[in-house]
């Protein structure tokens, strides 16, 4: 069953709190975008101590668009009780296999790899059978509100699902209401939505509506 995952790309603690209040009753998982300027030019707010003190039962996954994700992951594991999964970028200039193995085998967290729209699956063959989740980017990372790159990305989802049927596959970026049925048909498990939810005048109702759309389509 596919699910909608609200995305948090925020610049302050207050913005995080406001968004959490809007969606936490209507989702089981949120994704927090982590940008420190090392891999992409943008930055975001992702303080694990402050977030760990927020009372919520919603599970959290991190999308780490950074060159050195391990210290951030360790801090989140220490301070955030509902932190469950770390997604690292295939484009970082470090061996993917050593990073994902450390997260999975030493930290005992679920681990995923995110690939940019133009990155072929063959570039992550080394880790494709070791990770818990593949996050396919529909836009270039670092900025919300971008348009979906193209339906060739749907073919990448189908290829990954065919290659490893049990792998959880997530779509992140450029999601529209019209695209959701196509994603589900392609075999997607998690659909990350940022602008689609939070740029709506009524974000809570929009999330509820998207949840209903996913249920009907499935």
d(CA 99, CA 68): 9
pLDDT tens string 21-50:
999 999 999 999 999 999 888 999 999 999
- Whether residue 77 is predicted with pLDDT greater than 70 in this model: the reply is yes
- Whether residue 94 is predicted with pLDDT greater than 90 in this model: the reply is no
Read off the pTM: 0.94
Residue 106's CB is within 10 A of a number of other CB atoms, namely: 10
Q: Are 136 and 101 in contact (CB under 8 A)?
A: no
| One-character DSSP codes across 63-114 | EEESS--HHHHHHHHHH-TTEEEEEEETTSSS-HHHHHHIIIIIS--EEEEE
DSSP 8-state assignment for residue 121: G
Rg (CA), the chain: 16
- What percent of the chain has a predicted confidence (pLDDT) above 90? 79
The answer as to CATH 2.30.30.240 being correct for domain 3-217 is no
pLDDT tier at 210, thresholds 50, 70, 90: very high
pLDDT tens string 132-191:
999 999 988 766 667 786 788 999 999 999 989 999 999 998 999 999 999 999 999 999
Q: What are phi and psi of 100, to 5 degrees?
A: -65, -35
């Amino acid at each position: 069953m596919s699910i909608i995952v609200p995305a948090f790309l925020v610049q302050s603690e207050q913005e995080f709190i406001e968004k959490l209040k809007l969606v936490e009753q209507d989702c089981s998982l949120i994704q927090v975008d982590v940008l420190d300027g090392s891999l992409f030019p943008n930055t975001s707010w992702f303080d694990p101590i402050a977030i760990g003190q927020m009372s919520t039962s919603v599970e959290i996954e991190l999308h780490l668009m950074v060159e050195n994700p391990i210290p951030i992951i360790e801090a989140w594991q220490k301070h955030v009780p509902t932190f469950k999964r770390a997604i690292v970028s295939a484009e970082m200039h470090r061996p993917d296999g050593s990073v994902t193995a450390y997260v999975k085998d030493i930290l005992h967290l679920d681990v995923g790899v995110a690939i940019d729209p133009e990155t072929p699956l063959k570039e992550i063959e080394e880790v494709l059978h070791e990770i818990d989740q593949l996050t396919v980017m529909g836009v270039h990372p670092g900025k919300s509100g971008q348009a979906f790159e193209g339906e060739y990305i749907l073919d990448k989802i189908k290829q990954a699902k065919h290659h490893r049927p049990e792998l959880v596959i997530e779509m992140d970026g450029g999601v529209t209401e019209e695209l959701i049925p196509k994603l589900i048909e392609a075999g997607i498990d998690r659909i990350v939505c940022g602008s689609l939810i939070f740029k709506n005048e009524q974000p809570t109702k929009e999330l509820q509506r998207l949840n209903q759309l996913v249920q009907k389509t499935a």
